């Protein structure tokens, strides 16, 4: 899923992650900072296949005018999506679509994102499966596309947003090959994502809260920046297909 994208848009969070992965591969150190993977590096396990097409999944707002609209949506305008709250032991049906900043993301007709307003991909099902698709997408929305509304308000969010917006531009993107749900309820969820980094795997945990006003998931950054660590047991994660 990693791509070198000619769009040259700002991929701020993952730029710092990339730099640290180089340190891991060269020095062989195992530490706990933000890291990223070189998209040119062959993963140690098969990565999910990626369709060539880049069109957005159909939704009520998919039109030329919708994709060019302002990022800030009206509150609570998300359509009804799946209500299947069963635990996703198997990966939900997934497609891969290109976000405007350049990264390919997993999307689902049943679980979202159902709306793609410019750089703000949003509207996910109020289910554990919806949280899987929401976590990675909302993290890209705020750190790469600069959509601060992708996270709930907090002093930590505002501080991190300033830091991400100050990072140098890069067109490198990480590989995300799997997930596991660490916690899930009606009000909150935590999802870990995993991807290959040289001869190892790295993972990051994303916390989410359900926003009743937006009728959608939002990032919870009150605990600070999602950190990347070496994954000691890649088999504990479910592969995205």
pLDDT tens digit string along 33-66? 343 434 344 444 444 443 433 334 434 334 333 3
Q: What sign has the CA pseudo-torsion 98, 103, 104, 109? A: negative
- Has residue 173 got a pLDDT over 80? no
**DSSP conformational letter for 150:** G
Please, are residues 234 and 196 in contact by the beta-carbon 8 Å criterion? no
d(CA 175, CA 46): 11
Please, are residues 13 and 139 in contact by the beta-carbon 8 Å criterion? yes
pLDDT more than 70, % of the chain:
68
pTM above 0.85, yes or no: no
Q: What is the pLDDT of residues 194-224, one digit of tens each?
A: 999 888 999 999 999 999 999 999 999 999 9
For residues 72-96, one letter each, b for 16 or more C-beta atoms within 10 angstroms of the residue's C-beta and e for the rest, the string is ebeeeebeebbeeeeebeebbebbb
DSSP β-bridge partners for residue 159: none
Q: Collapsing DSSP states into helix, strand and coil, what is residue 149?
A: helix
Task: Choose between 58 and 164: higher pLDDT.
Answer: 164
Cα-to-chain-centroid distance, residue 125: 15
Name 180's Cβ contacts closer than 8 Å, sequence gap at least 6: 191, 192, 194, 236, 237, 238
Let me know the angle formed at the C-alpha of 34 by 28 and 194, rounded to the nearest 5 degrees. Answer: 85
What would the two tokens of residue 42 be? 């062959």
């Amino acid at each position: 899923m990693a791509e070198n994208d000619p769009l040259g848009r700002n991929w701020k969070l993952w730029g710092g992650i990339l730099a640290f992965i180089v340190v891991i591969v060269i020095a062989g150190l195992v530490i706990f900072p933000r890291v990223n993977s070189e998209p040119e590096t062959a993963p140690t396990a098969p990565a999910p296949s990626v369709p060539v097409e880049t069109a957005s999944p159909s939704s009520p707002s998919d039109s030329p005018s919708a994709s060019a609209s302002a990022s800030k949506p009206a509150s609570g305008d998300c359509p009804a999506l799946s209500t299947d709250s069963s635990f996703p032991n198997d990966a939900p049906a997934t497609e891969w679509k290109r976000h405007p900043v350049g990264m390919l993301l997993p999307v689902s007709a049943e679980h979202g994102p159902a709306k793609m307003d410019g750089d703000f991909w949003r509207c996910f099902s109020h289910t554990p499966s919806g949280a899987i698709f929401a976590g990675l997408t909302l993290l890209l929305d705020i750190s790469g596309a600069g959509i601060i509304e992708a996270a709930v308000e907090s002093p930590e969010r505002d501080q991190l947003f300033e830091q991400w917006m100050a990072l140098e531009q890069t067109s490198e993107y990480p590989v995300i090959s799997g997930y596991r749900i660490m916690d899930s309820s009606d009000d909150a969820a935590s999802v870990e994502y995993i991807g290959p980094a040289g001869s190892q795997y790295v993972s990051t945990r994303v916390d989410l809260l359900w926003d009743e006003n937006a009728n959608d998931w939002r990032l919870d950054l009150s605990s600070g920046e999602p950190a990347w660590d070496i994954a000691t047991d890649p088999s504990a994660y479910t592969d995205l297909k």
